[in-house]
Structure 1
Amino acid sequence: MAASVCAQRGKLEGVINFRFAILCSGFALNLLEFEQGSINCPSLHIFGSDHGRDRQIASQASRDLASLFEDGCSVVIEHDSGHIIPTRSPYIDQIKDFLRRFL
């Protein structure tokens, strides 16, 4: 759902205003009309790698979603801790770096 809102960001201006999105173990649902790199919204994508064994969401599904966002405005953090948001270095430092852009 969050990715769908990001995809419609321009049309929603004034109704819903946001500066960025954080998508954890996200996956594309009904976003077939969007091509790679076509969603213009600063975004942070956090998901478990193949080795991380996220049993809820396949890492390829999260990679596919991240690829719909423009290069240069999206950050991908692929970690080895399964279906969690990592809180240790270097991942937490990458999350902080992304968020600092919006302070």
Structure 2
Amino acid sequence: MATQTAGKLLCLHGYTQSGATLHKKTSALRTTLRKSLALTFSFPTAPHRVQPFTENADDRESSAATLQADLGDEEGHWAWWTHDEEAKTYKGLDQGMDFLAKVLEEEGPFVGVMGFSQGAAMAAMLSSALERSLLKSSHPPLKFAIIYSGFRAGYPQYDNYYDPKIKTPTLHVIGQMDSIVVPERCQKLVEVCEGAEVMEHPGGHFVPSAAPYRKGVVEFIERCLKKGSEGERATL
């Protein structure tokens, strides 16, 4: 068991969910990360309240996430942004980023970020924003990002998050049977992450809790933290 904390992990929930939803659904993973790395966690709830049922085609996670959020979630239904298909924009994204900048300042520092679905897309953009000083925060770039069922923002105005490629080390966990954020869509985010690692599981749109996938996450974080500490020593 780890004797010294490896740091704090920022955890971002999916569309129509909440911080409490993701906290419940990552119980086994949290236990493993706490025992193996002594990580601590923050599960903020996104700032935009949304209806539990929607036909938002862009997020394509709405119906499944709604079913998950309805199972005992007392915090309501929230999003990091809402898709305005007519205007071809992610309404509220800037406010979502400002909200996370405040979380970073008040609760950080964080060693990394983990996100599910829309939260995974947000995790990638947050990692990029910290690399490029696009965020209203003095927080340093993250050492890693864990992306569960993540996707690339779909409009040209967001290309600055992906070009040049995101340099923060990323692990993309993709469900081979995911019909909400299909593997091909996940792959588009993989392609804009430099040196991205991919771990597939045979299931659908969820955070896999089986031991091999938890072990894979632990090993990825260990590699990132080791690389980060070596880099810090090299600059001394």
Q: Which amino acid aligns with 1:55?
A: S
1:56 pairs, out of 166, 172, 180, with: 180
Report the counterpart of residue 191 of structure 2 in structure 1. Answer: 67
Report the counterpart of residue 23 of structure 1 in structure 2. Answer: 147
Quote the Cα distance in structure 1 between the aligned partners of 2:173 and 2:217.
9
The structure with the greater share of residues assigned to helix is 2
Determine helix, strand or coil for the equivalent of 1:77: strand
Q: Is the 8 A contact 2:144 2:221 kept in 1?
A: no
TM-score, length-scaled by structure 1: 0.76
After TM superposition, give the deviation of residue 64 of structure 1 in Å.
Answer: 1.0
- Percentage identity across paired residues of the two chains: 28
Question: In the alignment, is residue 47 of structure 1 matched against residue 174 of structure 2?
Answer: yes
Q: Supply the RMSD in Å over aligned alpha carbons.
A: 2.3
Q: Is the 8 A contact 1:47 1:85 kept in 2?
A: no
TM-score, length-scaled by structure 2: 0.37
After TM superposition, give the deviation of residue 15 of structure 1 in Å.
Answer: 1.7
Rg bigger for which structure? 2
Report the counterpart of residue 130 of structure 2 in structure 1. Answer: 9
Determine helix, strand or coil for the equivalent of 2:147: strand
1:83 pairs, out of 198, 201, 205, with: 205
Runs of at least 5 residues in structure 1 that lack an aligned partner in the other structure: none
Report the counterpart of residue 107 of structure 2 in structure 1. Answer: none
Question: In the alignment, is residue 99 of structure 1 matched against residue 226 of structure 2?
Answer: no
Quote the Cα distance in structure 2 between the aligned partners of 1:58 and 1:48.
8
After TM superposition, give the deviation of residue 65 of structure 1 in Å.
Answer: 0.3
Relative contact order: is structure 1 or structure 2 higher (C-alpha 8 Å, sep ≥ 6)? 1
Moved over 6 A (4+): none
